[in-house]
Amino acid sequence: MLKLNVVIGLLLFVFGVSAQVQPPEKKLINIVHGANFTKDEANFPGASIFSRDSERQVEFEHQGATLWCDVAVFYPQENRLIAIDNVRMQQGDSIQMDSGKLEYFGDIKLAKASKAVVLQSPDATLTTDTLYFDREKQESYYKHFGTIVDTSNVSTSKIGTYYMTSKKYQLLDSVKITNPDYKIVSDRLDYYTTSENVYMYGPTTITGEDYKMYCERGFYDTKVESGYGIKNTRIDYDNKIIVGDSLFFNKKNQFASATNNIVVTDTINNGVVRAHYAEVYKALDSVFATKKAVAVNVMEKDSVYIHGDTLMITGKPENRVIRAFRAARIFKTDLSGKCDSIHYEQKTGITQLITNPIVWNVDNQMTGDSIHLISDLETDKLDSLKVIDNAFIVSLDTISKTGYNQAKGKNLFGKFIDNKLKIIDLVQNVEVIYYSYNDDQRLVGIDKSICGKVNMIMENNEMDIITYYLNPAGVTYPEGEEPEKGAKLEGFVWYGDQRIYTKDDIFNEDDKNFVLPVIQGISHPIDIDAEEMARTKNENDPVNKIPNSKANRKKETAQPTKQSSKNKAAQQEIK
């Protein structure tokens, strides 16, 4: 009895091991309708050949897919099938593939279709010469050009893969998407047929009716013509070229924004805005810029730089207005200045420095309640200036290096010749202190005068000829014998330590220490397919389709502020 139990146990063990190592049962291709049958061992060894009859095509079935054709060469031992002429493969209710020839490998569920292949899904139709359909992975791909047509777009590429689960086409090499309203040309992109969204992963150009966008990594919603780029991005929009690390664009809202290393070029007025955040509003013909913002205007090969904490450029090209707010500064080769705000008007050529302005022209310092710089509209050269109320001009005495030539009055009017201040008129309650030297450049004395008006001719950027008008009176003090208050007019302040010598000096310490925000999305990819599924689910949510629903009311309320924050949100969407 014991021996019998041992034998039975050994047999059970052997059969158990045999059952564990036995290969899985093959899921064979089934013949549904064979019609006419023949064999040709000389040309097709081991194959069964079927051909259609007068009523029906040959029909096969394999794991949820049905295949019809006129002629079939079936290799049962290899679980392989070659279908010829008028071939159709149907998978469920959603996928249908037609071709002139198809080879199907049942063990790996792979179909290779050729000769005028047409793959139809609920969202799009793909045509190509040769298509591989991997039913195990639910992917189909081509390597020799294909065309995809959906409800809105026609897409072509040399290489393409269709992911049926996520309803996504991944297109490579010579990619083109055409639509009556725009055209996309790319090296590589992903196109989702349900949402009609495009994700770009290589050099891509999108051309619309009134815009052109280029980027090497980004997103584009083809339904509303809106998108963003986060790598080497540029937008040509509203006679402006916008370049930045990250750009957002929305055609419907006529809006574009950019973040980090931005350059906005005005192609009509030859002006440039640089900043680290900017917004462009086409309907308003305006640009808003901040974060180390500077506007650059070329005036006879001599650029003028205007900086402020915030810049606003508004108006049509012929009526362009530039406004700089808070800590505003201006720099030109022979002129610089600072104030609270700057207002420049293209039509008049007038630049206004408002609230506590200081202007330096070479070695001359001018202050007043406000200062106007007037340019010649034909030559773009500086023509004249006005210092309105409490005008004060100071220059360091270049010989003594200790004293200051000074003049003040109610208003000052200056004339530029070759961008240099040559003629100055001071009017009303004029006071002057002037260091007078003989021909040997020995100090004669310090002149202090008052009058109703004074005219000064500048030479080598110094007061050279001074003419007094309207009841002039004055006195000359030998050096060391000037009054106790010294040789300084009331209100005298020297701002030499604040002078702007170069275009880089227009930025303060906060500007120079500004740290660029990190543009997300390139180094750490996210699951784009999951993002698309979530977006599609949200769009199909019935609540979002009810016009007066609480969710939609919330969306509508948030819309006005969405433009400025959209760029930041967009950066997070693709990584």
How would you label 471-484 residue by residue, b for 16+ Cβ within 10 Å and e otherwise? eeeeeeeeeeebee
pLDDT of 550 > 60? The answer is no
DSSP states of 268-325 as a string? TTTEEEEEEEEEEETTTTEEEEEEEEEEEEEETTEEEEEEEEEEEEES-GGG-EEEEE
The per-residue pLDDT for 120 is: 93
The per-residue pLDDT for 484 is: 53
* Higher pLDDT among residues 362 and 520, named by residue: 362
How far is it, in rounded angstroms, from Cα 296 to Cα 238?
A: 18
How far is it, in rounded angstroms, from Cα 52 to Cα 253?
A: 59
Rg of the chain taking only CA atoms, in angstroms = 40
Least confident of 142-151, 227-236, 501-510: 501-510
Q: How far is CA 439 from CA 433, 435, 436, 442, 444, in A?
A: 20, 13, 10, 7, 10
The overall average pLDDT reported for the chain is 83
The per-residue pLDDT for 535 is: 63
Residue 375, C-beta contacts closer than 8 angstroms, at least 6 positions apart: 299, 349, 350, 351, 381, 382, 383
230-277, pLDDT tens digit by residue? Answer: 888 999 887 889 998 899 989 888 888 888 899 998 888 778 899 999
CB-CB contact of 175 with 185 (8 Å) = yes
Residue 124, C-beta contacts closer than 8 angstroms, at least 6 positions apart: 148, 149, 150, 169, 193
Q: What is the mean pLDDT of residues 22-26?
A: 54
Least confident of 309-323, 325-339, 404-418, 538-552: 538-552
The per-residue pLDDT for 507 is: 86
Q: Residue 40 carries which side chain, given as an amino acid letter?
A: D
Model confidence band, residue 536 (pLDDT cutoffs 50, 70, 90): low
Model confidence band, residue 356 (pLDDT cutoffs 50, 70, 90): very high
457-506, pLDDT tens digit by residue? Answer: 887 767 778 888 888 888 888 766 766 556 788 899 999 899 999 888 88
Q: What is the mean pLDDT of residues 146-156?
A: 92
Q: Residue 287 carries which side chain, given as an amino acid letter?
A: V
* Higher pLDDT among residues 441 and 388, named by residue: 388
Residue 369, C-beta contacts closer than 8 angstroms, at least 6 positions apart: 357, 388, 389, 390
SS3 487: coil
The per-residue pLDDT for 18 is: 42
Model confidence band, residue 346 (pLDDT cutoffs 50, 70, 90): confident
The per-residue pLDDT for 540 is: 56
Model confidence band, residue 337 (pLDDT cutoffs 50, 70, 90): very high
Q: How far is CA 131 from CA 97, 125, 134, 157, in A?
A: 10, 13, 10, 13
Least confident of 80-84, 159-163, 307-311, 464-468: 464-468
How far is it, in rounded angstroms, from Cα 530 to Cα 165?
A: 11
Q: What is the mean pLDDT of residues 374-388?
A: 86
Tell me phi and psi for residue 328, to 5 degrees.
-80, 145
The per-residue pLDDT for 574 is: 29
CB-CB contact of 63 with 91 (8 Å) = no
Domains annotated for the chain, with CATH where assigned, are 26-121 (2.60.450.10), 145-356+508-575 (2.60.450.10), 392-491 (no CATH)
CB-CB contact of 243 with 231 (8 Å) = no
Model confidence band, residue 1 (pLDDT cutoffs 50, 70, 90): very low
pLDDT of 83 > 80? The answer is yes
How far is it, in rounded angstroms, from Cα 463 to Cα 293?
A: 36
The per-residue pLDDT for 318 is: 79
CB-CB contact of 448 with 432 (8 Å) = yes
The per-residue pLDDT for 506 is: 87
Tell me phi and psi for residue 56, to 5 degrees.
-135, 155
SS3 376: coil
Model confidence band, residue 527 (pLDDT cutoffs 50, 70, 90): low
pLDDT of 17 > 60? The answer is no
Strand 154-157, strand 233-237: pairing: unpaired
How far is it, in rounded angstroms, from Cα 284 to Cα 282?
A: 5
The per-residue pLDDT for 198 is: 92
Tell me phi and psi for residue 568, to 5 degrees.
-65, -45
